[in-house]
Amino acid sequence: MRKLLVYMKPYRKECVLGPLFKLLEAAFELFVPLVMAAVIDRGIAQGDAPFVWRMGGVLLGLAAVGLTCSITAQYFAARAAVGFCARLRHALLEHIQSLSFAVRDGLGSSTMITRLTSDINQVQSGVNLTLRLFLRSPFIVFGAMIMAFTVDAASAWIFVIAIPLLSAVVFGIMLWTMPLYKKAQAGLDRVLGVVRENLTGVRVIRAFNQEENEAARFGADNGSLTRLQLFVGRIAAAMNPLTYVILNAALIALIWSGAWRVEGGFITQGAVVALVNYMSQILVELIKLANLIINMTRSLACAGRIAGVLETEPGMAGGTSEGPADAEALVAFEDVAVTYPGAGAPSLEGVSFRANRGETVGIIGPTGCGKSTLVNLIPRFYEATAGRVLVKGVNVKNYDLQKLRARIGVVPQKAQLFKGTVAENLRWGRENATEEELIAALKTAQAWEFIETREGGLNAPVEQNGRNFSGGQRQRLTIARALVRRPDILILDDSASALDLATDARLRAALRELPDRPAVFVVSQRAASLMHADRIIVLDDGKVAGVGTHAQLLESCPMYREIYHSQFPKEAA
């Protein structure tokens, strides 16, 4: 939590001035009953009309000063809250960007998005309200009590009893209902979940004739939610009547004891009116305080979650090497193993091979066998836990991360584009690529055909996440993006899965003709996509089941044979 306060630092001034002006306003508010008491005791009792007018002026003055103070306070509070959260959002995104793949996998994207959006918004309103109200409400409550003592100490003891009683009711009911409301919220989430499931799974539900069961499930959740809400409602409904009774009981006591004091000549009639006024100010502020506390706990929970993300270690530090200009093997794996944190068995072990310039390496194997893990080690998205991964003869751990990744063109499994234009997306590969280079890359990636005819061509807009392109088109654009980089190493991580077979074949042919002769890594489940590779690595459950050319593997590797036969039943013979 302390970690977050750092971002408040530039707003230290606002954090002091905001509450301070708020206190000033409250102080002026506390003077009002005293002025009225004076009006009654001197103005009315002695028939002093000019004094009444003067006091009227004082009331107006107090109101005006109060308004000024409070507007000033609102400004400082808003400034601090908004500024703090803008800085926090920047810092949080920057931190998230620095996290390694493994750490991010652990957090999950939806978590990170919630932290960056709704959690921070909640913190913002929490900070704003706290700066405005947290000091004001207790100040008014205790201020009213202290003022009561200055008016008449003997009657003020009623305040001493009433305040704790009122607080007990207000906060007691709040403490009691808060977890119940949370439960009700969870119940609502369940109801929402059932509705959502029934929409997203409508085909399966109807195919399995589950409509009635689902209706029963919904009815049960809906009914128990209503019962819970009614229960909480019953408790919460007691708050107003109870506080009303306590407050008025205190008023009755105040008037009765005031009557004795007046009879004895200790205080005046105006003083009794002032005491009554102070009493009525207390309740409003206590309720405000209770609401503020609910809001603050919610914000604190959000802040805690944000701090949790900020405190995660980035997980990986880069080296300083830029790598040699050239070396005989572009990529070499030496007895590499990877064990993910918390996993019982290694996801990859005993992997050794080399890939030279212009060579194609195919990686094949069942789901979850470690194919993606293997290629993700080359740009050091993940860390080898044993053995060495060498790029141009230098261990990837010694590379400056940016320099290492600048040599590699990665086409990830999930085809991800960003809002902007086609050209802007392609230039992620290389900032200064010319239009001709972009078109050449698009042609190789078999994407030029649909970009050429698209309105706007290279400058055609790309929507958020590239959703205005089909899955196959997105894949081809991401391939083009990696090609624009003119990489030494090109990694295609199952990135032709949405392409029809004819396009896939043309793409493979075009990649073989690349002028820079990069080492190409192709991860695929289709034997057809990689059987012409110079070397095929067959993985099974993290272990290498075979390495060799298509012909060699057909001879020697039963696993490869099985995969191949399942896809080409006749030609296998």
Shortest distance in whole angstroms from residue 328 CB to another protein: 26
Task: List, as one string, the DSSP characters of 343-384.
Answer: -SS-SEEEEEEEEETT-EEEEE-STTSSHHHHHHTTTTSS--
Residue 11: both structure tokens together: 């707003």
Sign of the CA dihedral with 503 first, then 507, 508, and 510 last: positive
- In the complex with another protein, the residue whose CB is nearer, 69 or 163, is 69
Who contacts 413 (Cβ-Cβ below 8 Å, separation ≥6)? 372, 493, 494, 495, 497
Shortest Cβ 303–another protein spacing (Å): 18
- Considering beta carbons, is residue 334 or 443 the nearer one to another protein? 443
As measured in angstroms, the least distance from the Cβ of 5 to another protein is: 19
333 Cβ contact list (under 8 Å, min separation 6): 351, 352, 353, 354, 374, 377, 387, 388, 389, 390
Residue 439 CB, shortest distance to another protein, in Å, is 20
Rounded Cα distance between 197 and 220, Å, is 16
User: In angstroms, what is the minimal distance from the CB of 124 to another protein?
Assistant: 8
Alpha carbon 457 to its chain's center: 35
The CB-of-14 to another protein minimum distance in angstroms stands at 11
Instruction: Please report how the helices 120-133 and 269-311 are oriented relative to each other, as an axis angle in degrees rounded to 10.
Output: 150
Q: Which is nearer to another protein, 386 or 497 (CB)?
A: 497
Select 90 or 328, whichever has its Cβ closest to another protein: 90
| Residue of 58, 62, 65, 26 whose CA lies nearest to 43 | 58
What is the Cα–Cα distance from 30 to 274, expressed in whole angstroms? 10
Torsion over CA: 208, 212, 214, 216 (sign) = negative
Distance between CA 344 and CA 366 in Å, rounded? 20
* Shortest distance in whole angstroms from residue 460 CB to another protein: 18
- Which secondary structure element, helix H or strand E, spans residue 454, and what is its range? none
Nearer to another protein, 384 or 491 (CB): 491
Closer to another protein by CB, 2 or 500: give it. 500
Q: Shortest Cβ distance from residue 413 to another protein (Å)? A: 9
The whole-angstrom separation of Cα 250 and Cα 256 is 10
Question: Do 410 and 326 contact (CB within 8 A), yes or no?
Answer: no
CB nearer to another protein: give 386 or 406: 406
Q: How far apart are CB 373 and another protein at their closest, in Å?
A: 14
The answer to whether residues 276 and 267 touch, using CB atoms and an 8 Å cutoff, is: no
Strand partners, 490: 409, 520
Specify the residue, 5 or 113, whose C-beta has the smaller distance to another protein. 113
CB-nearer residue toward another protein: 117 or 352 = 117
